[in-house]
Amino acid sequence: MELIARELGTLSESQAATTILASDNVTVGFDATTQEGVHVNTIHFTTNTQCCVAALDQLPGGTAADYADHVLDKVDRLSLAYCHFMDKDFVETKRNIISKIKISMTDRCAANHAALRIISCAGKQ
């Protein structure tokens, strides 16, 4: 059962990457909340016509580094999944996904603002 869930997750990531790569203007959004002591963050990518929820994961904390690592790790995972199914180069795919992201959306929390600076710097490498 765990293998089936993992395969569905990989397929979902590949579909999200395909949606991102098919658009010229993508918005990445993320936000976190703590419920009953569990801190979770969601990441979604929105195009002109679609929205893909890419992640809803528990994070170790609520720092800028935690949020930035989560978003950057998700871009890596989307790239890997797409490359697996489409037989493409990982570095090129990751670069293409990042180039499609034109806007970010999150609340004005200081940690989120700092996370966006970290993500922006990582995307230029």
Mean pLDDT, all residues of the chain = 90
- Does residue 1 register a pLDDT over 60? no
pTM reported for the whole predicted model: 0.89
SS (H, E, C) 29-61: EEEEEEECCEEEEEEEEECCCCEEEEEEEECCC
Phi/psi at 42 (5° precision): -115, 145
pLDDT tens per residue across span 70-124:
999 999 999 999 999 999 999 999 999 999 999 999 877 888 888 988 888 886 7
11: its two tokens: 């397929």
Locus of tokens 């979770």: 40
